[in-house]
């Protein structure tokens, strides 16, 4: 029932891109100088061969795109998302994370490989259409289903780091509420109440790495412990060792909600960040999503260790998790990237929405406008900083020699007609975030607004059908989630974190 990729699309996806593509006369974002430059960009194979001011001669190209009325940006990097969520868009909506999560699990339980592939295709479609060229998918599931998501990314042609999301503790231990205190009817036969086998989880990641890492120069496999409080100390230590051995990144959630901040770290650790240090995970390899409930010492530790925090402003608001202290992170020089989170808590895969929120959400707490985020600074978070988090050494800027990962936005709309700063218009004012052309590694994945590698309409039509099927098929689990909802909502509300939330603290 899930669409097989159509043969013509499959053929198209195999075809090499033309050896040379010239993007002629566009407004090119020089993110280092923070200015737009009218220039020609020549792409040869997978790289940017030349960026030259308009008028300077460039070699002939097999394909020339007239981008005079367009903005050329480095492709966005979505440094934290969960692709499964595209088939669960409104599951658990209107709830805080703790009860929301059990609804999400209920809906995703037993996903087949084909369903997982479909959700990844949907996520990647939405991503490339809005100018994203690379994403990090923190994805739960077994080797077979995760392989299906990787297949989706490979076929669609987006750059993807998949961090298989693993956790070996049973749900009651992860929220610090013993099984005996849960409503009895709420967890009979719930797989979430059983611990998982750490050996098997790590063997799965290892196998995925062996099979997929480096595929077509676009796929990587990271370690993906779900969150420190959801993993045993042994599993976290072994994640650190395996990441070192494989020389790959590690991605995890960290201190997202009040309830998580109220779960005490293991004995001997000052905080959950201290625990990450003691298991050997604090290093530039690590990126952590959310970090809403970090204290000053945590931030200093992350900055010193070169850990990237991935800011997911919409998800933090939509789940009522809190307002992360972006200003504090920035003034302490913690590396920061941006993500959307899964679309069932972050709205969509549109990175421009994340950029807009990141730019304005923190202004009320900062009286000095010179220190506010700008269109340029959030573009930097969404491109170069994201590329760093995904270990993409030669992506994230539009410069000669870099990977040709770029997005092209048409500026012939009312948004841009009366504004002299097209980048600011795009970030603060645009109501239509679709990119006209998107290139990943020199290949046009979106060509004049159309995704070239897969059949978008067939995928969207199938998604609607599969979503209804999942609701029916997993209703028995949804019933369990409904029985846990009130209890977990109370756990969330009554959690007493070690500090008060200070949404507008300077």
Q: x/- string (CB under 5 A) for Zn ion, residues 261-290?
A: ------------------------------
CB of 123 to Zn ion, least distance (A): 13
How many residues touch Zn ion under the rule CB under 5 A: the total is 1
Q: Which stretch binds Zn ion (CB under 5 A): 29-37, 39-47, 202-210, 335-343?
A: 335-343
Closer of 295 and 341 to Zn ion (Cβ)? 341
CB of 94 to Zn ion, least distance (A): 18
Cβ-based burial of 1 (10 A; exposed 0-12, middle 13-18, buried ≥19): exposed
CB of 382 to Zn ion, least distance (A): 17
Distance CA 232, CA 225 (A): 10
* Residue numbers 354-413 binding Zn ion by CB under 5 A: none
What's the number of CA atoms in the CB half-sphere (13 Å) around residue 196? 25
Closer of 49 and 255 to Zn ion (Cβ)? 255
Closer of 348 and 452 to Zn ion (Cβ)? 348
Closer of 80 and 443 to Zn ion (Cβ)? 80
CB of 484 to Zn ion, least distance (A): 20
Distance CA 371, CA 330 (A): 10
In angstroms, how far is the first alpha carbon of the chain from the final one? 52
Closer of 346 and 441 to Zn ion (Cβ)? 346
CB of 138 to Zn ion, least distance (A): 6
Closer of 218 and 311 to Zn ion (Cβ)? 311
Closer of 168 and 341 to Zn ion (Cβ)? 341
Collapsed DSSP state (helix, strand, coil) of residue 200: helix
Q: Which stretch binds Zn ion (CB under 5 A): 172-180, 340-348, 422-430, 436-444?
A: 340-348
- Of all residues in the shown chain, the one whose CB is closest to Zn ion is 341
Q: Which stretch binds Zn ion (CB under 5 A): 141-149, 337-345, 371-379, 395-403?
A: 337-345
Q: Which stretch binds Zn ion (CB under 5 A): 9-17, 225-233, 322-330, 333-341?
A: 333-341
Stretch (H or E) spanning 66: strand 63-66
CB of 256 to Zn ion, least distance (A): 8
Determine the length of the chain: 506
CB of 228 to Zn ion, least distance (A): 14
Closest CA to 24 of 39, 44, 34: 39
CB of 181 to Zn ion, least distance (A): 26
Distance CA 482, CA 471 (A): 13
Closer of 29 and 163 to Zn ion (Cβ)? 163
Closest CA to 135 of 341, 380, 281: 341
CB of 411 to Zn ion, least distance (A): 33
Collapsed DSSP state (helix, strand, coil) of residue 189: coil
Backbone φ, ψ for residue 52 (5° rounding)? -125, 145
Cβ atoms within 10 A of the Cβ of 493, count? 12
Collapsed DSSP state (helix, strand, coil) of residue 206: helix
In sequence order, the 6+-apart residues with CB closer than 8 A to the CB of 338 are: 78, 79, 310, 311, 312, 351, 354, 355, 358, 378, 381, 382, 385, 386
Q: Which stretch binds Zn ion (CB under 5 A): 68-76, 215-223, 229-237, 341-349?
A: 341-349
Per CB under 5 A, 98 contacts Zn ion: no
The answer to whether the beta carbons of residues 156 and 445 sit under 8 Å apart is yes
Q: Which stretch binds Zn ion (CB under 5 A): 339-347, 356-364, 377-385, 456-464?
A: 339-347
**Alpha helices per DSSP H over 213-251:** 233-246
Stretch (H or E) spanning 458: helix 456-473
Query: How many angstroms from the chain centroid is the CA of residue 135?
Result: 5
Residue 94 Ramachandran class (φ > 0 left, ψ -120 to 50 alpha, else beta): left
Closer of 343 and 445 to Zn ion (Cβ)? 343
Distance CA 97, CA 103 (A): 10
Q: Which stretch binds Zn ion (CB under 5 A): 6-14, 336-344, 451-459, 491-499?
A: 336-344
* Residue numbers 23-42 binding Zn ion by CB under 5 A: none
The answer to whether the beta carbons of residues 378 and 427 sit under 8 Å apart is yes
Distance CA 379, CA 461 (A): 33
Closer of 138 and 238 to Zn ion (Cβ)? 138
Distance CA 448, CA 431 (A): 18
The answer to whether the beta carbons of residues 48 and 190 sit under 8 Å apart is no
Closer of 290 and 356 to Zn ion (Cβ)? 290
CB of 31 to Zn ion, least distance (A): 26
CB of 312 to Zn ion, least distance (A): 7
Closer of 82 and 443 to Zn ion (Cβ)? 82
Q: Which of 341, 380, 456, 462 binds Zn ion (CB under 5 A)?
A: 341
CB of 227 to Zn ion, least distance (A): 9
Residues that bind Zn ion (CB under 5 A): 341
């Amino acid at each position: 029932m899930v669409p097989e990729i159509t043969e013509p699309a499959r053929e198209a996806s195999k075809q090499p891109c033309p050896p040379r593509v010239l993007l002629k006369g566009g407004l090119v974002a020089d993110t280092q100088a923070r200015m737009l430059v009218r220039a020609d960009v020549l792409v040869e194979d997978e790289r940017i061969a030349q960026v030259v001011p308009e008028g300077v001669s460039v070699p002939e190209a097999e394909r020339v795109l007239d981008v005079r009325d367009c903005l050329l940006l480095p492709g966005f990097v979505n440094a934290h998302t969960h692709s499964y969520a595209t088939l669960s868009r409104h599951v658990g909506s209107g709830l805080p994370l703790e009860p929301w999560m059990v609804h999400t699990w209920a809906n995703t339980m037993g996903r087949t490989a084909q369903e997982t592939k479909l959700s990844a295709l949907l996520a990647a479609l939405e991503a490339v259409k809005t100018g994203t060229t690379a994403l990090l998918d923190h994805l739960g599931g077994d080797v077979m289903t995760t392989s299906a998501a990787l297949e989706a990314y490979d076929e669609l042609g987006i750059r993807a780091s998949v961090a298989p999301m693993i956790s070996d503790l049973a749900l009651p231990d992860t929220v610090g509420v013993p099984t005996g205190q849960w409503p009895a009817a709420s967890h009979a036969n719930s797989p979430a109440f059983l611990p998982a086998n750490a050996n098997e989880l790590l063997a799965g990641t290892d196998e995925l790495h062996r099979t997929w890492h480096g595929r077509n120069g676009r796929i990587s496999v990271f370690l993906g412990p779900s969150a420190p409080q959801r993993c045993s100390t042994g599993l976290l230590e072994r994640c650190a060792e395996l990441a070192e051995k494989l020389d790959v990144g590690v991605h995890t959630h960290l201190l997202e909600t009040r309830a998580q901040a109220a779960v005490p770290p293991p004995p001997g650790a000052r905080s959950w960040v201290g625990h990450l240090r003691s298991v050997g995970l604090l290093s530039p390899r690590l990126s952590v999503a959310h970090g809403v409930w970090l204290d000053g010492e945590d931030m200093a530790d992350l900055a010193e260790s070169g850990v990237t925090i991935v800011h997911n402003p919409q998800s933090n608001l939509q789940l009522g998790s809190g307002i992360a202290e972006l200003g504090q992170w920035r003034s302490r020089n913690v590396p920061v990237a941006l993500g959307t989170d899964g679309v069932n808590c972050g709205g969509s895969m549109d990175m421009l929405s994340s950029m807009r929120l990141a730019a304005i959400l923190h202004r009320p707490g900062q009286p000095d406008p010179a220190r506010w985020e700008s269109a340029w600074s959030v573009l930097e978070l969404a491109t170069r900083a994201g590329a760093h988090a995904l270990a993409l050494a030669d992506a994230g800027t539009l410069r000669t020699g870099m990977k040709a990962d770029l997005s092209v936005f048409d500026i012939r709309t009312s948004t841009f007609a009366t504004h002299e700063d097209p980048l600011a218009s795009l970030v603060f004012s645009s109501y239509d975030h679709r990119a006209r052309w998107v290139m990943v590694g020199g290949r046009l994945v979106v060509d004049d607004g159309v995704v070239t590698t897969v059949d978008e309409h067939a995928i969207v039509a199938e998604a609607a059908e599969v979503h209804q099927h999942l609701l029916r098929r997993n209703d028995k689990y949804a019933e369990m989630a409904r029985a846990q909802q009130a209890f977990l909502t109370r756990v969330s509300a009554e959690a007493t974190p070690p500090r008060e939330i200070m949404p507008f603290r300077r």
